Structure 1
Amino acid sequence: MSELSDGTRLSDHEVRDRLRKYQDGGPISALFETGAIAEGGVLEEALDHVMQELESAGQHDEADRVGDVLTYVCDLHPRPAVPNWVNRSA
């Protein structure tokens, strides 16, 4: 689990919760559905794009929540699909 700016850690369950409404049929959905984090930066770019859109819409707290997922991804990439990912608890 990755450490956030407030010293807490983001769990796998929290990652799924934060990404639920941003599934894109691509790299964000792959992380949401399987826990997979591919090499190459495509997921990072997709998350950054979501953050920028949220910031532009004035949704700063939500952008920060997605930014926490980006930190999680940067700390753990690359990573293959995680067994039992969708059933992992908090």
Structure 2
Amino acid sequence: MSELSDGTRLSDHDVRTALRPYQDGGLISALFETGAISLESGELPADLTALAERLEAEGKQDEADRIDAVLTYVCDVGERPAVANWVNRTDV
């Protein structure tokens, strides 16, 4: 489990759990399925921000906070290819 730059503690499993209901067939799904983070286009952070804002507007503050934590995770970790054993990682 990693401590993020904002003090939040988040594991890879937590990232997958937060993203599971919001797979979009795009970069959010790629992160959910493989752990890959693509920052080159700026789309993944923008997609996560838009998702968090939508959830907040829908009154789902806890879910929005989880997606915000995933956004911090993505920015802290940075660009990376798919992660070996991503779906089996629990406490990293």
* TM-score, scaled to structure 1: 0.91
Q: Secondary structure at the match of 1:30?
A: helix
Count of aligned residue pairs for this structure pair: 89
Structure 2: gaps spanning 5 or more residues: none
Residue 76 of structure 1 is matched in structure 2 by: 77
| Percent identical | 60
Residue 85 of structure 1 is matched in structure 2 by: 86
* TM-score, scaled to structure 2: 0.89
The structural deviation recorded for 1:4 is 6.5
The residue identity in structure 1 corresponding to 2:22 is Y
8 Å CA contact retained: 1:4, 1:10: no
Establish whether residue 15 from structure 1 lines up as the match of residue 9 from structure 2: no
Residues 42, 2 of structure 1: alpha-carbon distance in 2 compared, 3 angstrom cutoff: farther
The structural deviation recorded for 1:22 is 0.5
The residue identity in structure 2 corresponding to 1:25 is G
Structure 1: gaps spanning 5 or more residues: none
Residue 62 of structure 1 is matched in structure 2 by: 63
The residue identity in structure 2 corresponding to 1:63 is A
Residue 32 of structure 1 is matched in structure 2 by: 32
RMSD: 1.4
Moved more, 20-29 or 32-41: 32-41
Moved over 3 A (4+): none
